Structure 1
């Protein structure tokens, strides 16, 4: 019978960590948005499916199958002047139980003059005992358009898991024409998870998300969004100048999607969410 390995001083060996990096940029050619540059390394991959509209779609893929403590992912997307880029993910990202440290995901978006970038990853599923540190930085021109979403599902619904010992740190920074117009930092640790039935926290919700829209035509959309979320007591939407922020919670990922997907469709200009959301 094989004996279990004994580590000197009781210290376990350093485990291999997943690291990935992906970058994509667009350019305008004959009035169409086309691929300019694409870079990928490690477990970070990007695919560009054929599109039939005036935009380029980029699909982010983590080939490691998920992230755990010490793993690092970095994404960068740039929409050149007068182009449109839609960024989504192949599937929901998964954050697994950590043996130490947090999984880190850093995303940076650049939107040039007259361009539009839709940042629409599918939900992140947070497992019990996991830790996630995530940042989203957006640098957009004064006349650019940005639609962004970050959504989280706490635990594996089919397993009845509630992720009561998970830890999540989320940070958004949106700069428009050199001015910081949106900044938020949210943290939920294990203590908050245990108390999340409190109405001042998640009120028992298993899923939550934030949708942000920044554009010169924001005022034109606000009433329609209020109508869309009006039947959902766990959702709210507000506008300040050219910025709309929609926040929603749900008892399940499906319930959250019932709120988020119509809002995305209303703001997308194409009347739909990315096709991969429906597969």
Structure 2
């Protein structure tokens, strides 16, 4: 008969546990439309077929069938827009980062967008929910050549505040970078430990559970647009700033519905002066 010592520690799948998934997309304009010319994937990352609800702009839905990240899961999404391409990418639902295993193995997602001259890209995923005791890494890098235009966001909910399930344990590393012609214009790195001074402080998250950052770049934004954004997003949870040509809309509060609605409104206001097109809401957002 086999026996197990009471001192034996029950562990997860090991500190070297990994489940990697990768998605590489290349968008190229042909005639009046942008087409997905190259697609490569490893693991559970896919896209739905391209949509063209507004003519030539290629709308893509990025799919992660498991629906959430456990310890060892690493998603890598690479998007390359050739010169003059026009692309909008979103996700069909919120992403989830679950609690880590007994080894505390990192789990997360890396997004890398590169745009050639005069290319346009909108990276508009739905929010990421970071569960308590997660060990999450969220990394977004945007590299633009001269003349390229970008608008995108990263929306995060710590825990599930509506269910009173707070982010009481765990860590989150979030980084957003934007470069033009190799020059770093925006670099923000959050290193958050649950229940830390940064989590509670007024100069940190001030005990709030929901935060989001919209980043837009590629034109000389009119001061009137900044005034309009501030008037439309008059809630104290929102701020609007413009520095070194990078337009930022931020949210810090407790309500993801409020955050999402405000970011949708900001995107609609920014899209016309930046890309020359009115907002075309992806159908998946309304289902």
TM-score (norm. length: structure 1)? 0.90
Q: Residue 189 of structure 1 aligns with which residue?
A: 193
Q: How far has the Cα of 1:197 moved from its partner?
A: 4.5
C-alpha separation between the residues in 1 aligned to 2:13 and 2:7? 13
Q: How far has the Cα of 1:8 moved from its partner?
A: 11
Q: Residue 252 of structure 1 aligns with which residue?
A: 255
Contact 1:219 1:239 in 2 (8 A): no
Closer/same/farther in 2, CA of residues 87 and 7 from structure 1, 3 Å limit:
farther
C-alpha separation between the residues in 1 aligned to 2:7 and 2:23? 38
Contact 1:217 1:242 in 2 (8 A): yes
Q: Residue 60 of structure 1 aligns with which residue?
A: 62
Closer/same/farther in 2, CA of residues 252 and 32 from structure 1, 3 Å limit:
same
C-alpha separation between the residues in 2 aligned to 1:241 and 1:66? 36
Structure 1 residue 14 and structure 2 residue 16: aligned? no
Q: Residue 159 of structure 2 aligns with which residue?
A: 155
Q: Which runs of 5+ in 2 are unaligned?
A: 272-276
Matches within 5 A, 1:20-35: 20-35=21-36
Kindly tell me the number of residue pairs found equivalent between the two proteins. 275
C-alpha separation between the residues in 1 aligned to 2:181 and 2:4? 58
Q: How far has the Cα of 1:7 moved from its partner?
A: 11
Contact 1:44 1:62 in 2 (8 A): yes
Q: Residue 41 of structure 1 aligns with which residue?
A: 42
Closer/same/farther in 2, CA of residues 248 and 10 from structure 1, 3 Å limit:
closer
Q: Which runs of 5+ in 1 are unaligned?
A: none
Residue in structure 2 matching 1:92, options 94, 106, 119: 94
Q: C-alpha root-mean-square deviation of aligned residues, in Å?
A: 2.4
C-alpha separation between the residues in 2 aligned to 1:181 and 1:48? 34
Structure 1 residue 121 and structure 2 residue 133: aligned? no
Residue in structure 2 matching 1:132, options 136, 147, 151: 136
Closer/same/farther in 2, CA of residues 7 and 49 from structure 1, 3 Å limit:
farther
Q: How far has the Cα of 1:219 moved from its partner?
A: 2.9
C-alpha separation between the residues in 1 aligned to 2:47 and 2:77? 10
**Cα-to-partner distance string for 1:147-181 (whole Å, 9 max, x where unaligned):** 12001011124422111113110112211022111
C-alpha separation between the residues in 2 aligned to 1:111 and 1:5? 57
Closer/same/farther in 2, CA of residues 111 and 101 from structure 1, 3 Å limit:
same
Structure 1 residue 226 and structure 2 residue 227: aligned? no
Closer/same/farther in 2, CA of residues 8 and 272 from structure 1, 3 Å limit:
same
Decide which moves more: 212-221 or 255-264: 212-221
**Cα-to-partner distance string for 1:4-41 (whole Å, 9 max, x where unaligned):** 98899646463664321111111111121121111122
**Cα-to-partner distance string for 1:215-234 (whole Å, 9 max, x where unaligned):** 123236323222222x2101
* Regions of 4+ moved over 4 Å: 3-11
TM-score (norm. length: structure 2)? 0.88
Q: Residue 238 of structure 1 aligns with which residue?
A: 241
What SS does the corresponding residue of 2:250 show, helix, strand or coil? strand
Contact 2:192 2:198 in 1 (8 A): no
Structure 1 residue 275 and structure 2 residue 283: aligned? yes
Residue in structure 1 matching 2:268, options 258, 265, 269: 265
